[in-house]
Amino acid sequence: MKPIYVDNNATTRVDEEVFAAMQPYFCEEYGNPSSMHSVGGRVGPKLKEARNQVANLIGARPDEIIFTSCGTESDNTAVHAALAADPGKRHIVTSRVEHPAIGSLVSSLSKQGYRISEIAVDGDGCLDMGSLEESLTPDTALVSIMWANNETGVIFPVEEIAQMCRQRGITFHTDAVQAVGKLPINLNDSAIDMLSLSGHKLHAPKGIGALYVRKGTKFSPFMIGGHQEKGRRAGTENVPGIIALGKACELAGKNMQEENTRVRDLRDRLETELIKRIPDAKINGTVKQRTPNTSNISFANIEGESILLMLNEFGICASSGSACTSGSLEPSHVMRAMGVPFTMAHGSIRFSLSIYNTLADIDEIIKQLPPIVERLRVLSPFS
């Protein structure tokens, strides 16, 4: 049975064109680009090409792109760089719904004496912009707000926030891991100072990411060592990964219209039919400003983990909107921040689609999920 994979916000399959592009750089063109000889010399131009491909997708200059190992490294690098640039400032502003790559980091920094302001969201997952503006002070070193939420797909007004920060001389960073490749981004016309992205969210392999740093932004490297990445990120380059990321970014640009039409239509069909067929079900997150591939739906009075296990019996691979999969009985921090009632948040499921999903996939989910929910509600202690 071929699985129906709708967990693309967790990771994506590597595109076949991406795999083909990176393959020669394992066993054939395996040189170190820092080497002086011809084997290493042949690799350098390919890294330059990949840097251009990444920059083109997000409307940046190639020299503003730093290759990293993942989105988490990019996030950590951005935060530490901003704090190092203004060592006298001890205040960081972020949101209550950030990915742990930011959330856990700022929690750790709070133990080192930094003051953290976590901006609230409303019941639709939208950021409280008034509170954000009020939180900014002369002591604020950094504002870091994600572009799109990984659980709900809700899109935040990062361009507006970036302008707000620029007017006050505050560095602004966005974790755009879930936005790059799905939403049009043009950093040349933006006040964003730093932006993180991750390869395995857009059909490149795991272990490669990038950080955009606007030209002129004060920057201190997080990884110290050799001269790679113009001294901004030490360590021998992951050549196959970088080439894969470049190709994936090129393809993402070509496929963005499909993401925002056909994939969006599949997502909307899934939501419409499930809400119609399953009583006491609710979409989490504003329907107006969401990434086109993401749907988070709560089903009252049942556990998300149980739904996932039964879906998996039919080869349907989704994820829980709660932290049940980590062994916790508590709903996710995103659901809690949105004020979703426990009986709903506990049964939240995230479906995240890609260009590889088909109408047949969606119709199979629509067929199988209603009887699963009905059966679980009969057995549920919440009922």
Say if CB 150 and CB 177 are below 8 A apart.
yes
Q: Which of 70, 165, 249, 324 is catalytic?
A: 324
Structure tokens at 299: 């089903």
β partners of residue 295: 351
Q: What percent of the chain has pLDDT over 70?
A: 97
The predicted model gives 61-67 an average pLDDT of 98
Which residue ranges make up each domain of the chain?
A: 4-10+256-379, 16-251
Give the predicted TM-score (pTM) of the model. Answer: 0.95
Say whether 249 is catalytic.
no
Structure tokens at 6: 């709708």
- Nearest-angstrom CA–CA distance, 200 and 197: 9
pLDDT in tens, 253-307: 999 999 999 999 999 999 999 999 999 999 999 988 999 999 999 999 999 999 9
The superfamily CATH assigns to domain 4-10+256-379 is Aspartate Aminotransferase, domain 1 (3.90.1150.10)
Query: In this structure, which long-range contacts are made by residues 262-265, counting pairs with CB atoms below 8 Å and at least 24 apart in sequence?
Result: 262/355, 263/292, 263/293, 263/353, 263/354, 263/355, 263/357, 264/292, 264/293
Q: What percent of the chain has pLDDT over 90?
A: 89
pLDDT in tens, 16-41: 999 999 999 999 888 888 888 887 77
pLDDT in tens, 211-227: 999 999 999 999 999 99
pLDDT in tens, 313-338: 999 999 986 443 445 567 899 999 99
Instruction: Say if residue 229's pLDDT is above 50.
Output: yes
| CB neighbour burial string for 241-258, b if at least 16 within 10 angstroms, e if fewer | bbbbbbbbbbbbeebbee
Instruction: Say if residue 363's pLDDT is above 90.
Output: yes
- Nearest-angstrom CA–CA distance, 146 and 49: 28
pLDDT at 321: 60
- 16-251 adopts what CATH topology? Aspartate Aminotransferase; domain 2 (3.40.640)
pLDDT in tens, 83-142: 999 999 999 999 999 999 999 999 999 999 999 999 999 999 999 999 999 999 999 999
Say if CB 103 and CB 94 are below 8 A apart.
yes
The predicted model gives 233-238 an average pLDDT of 94
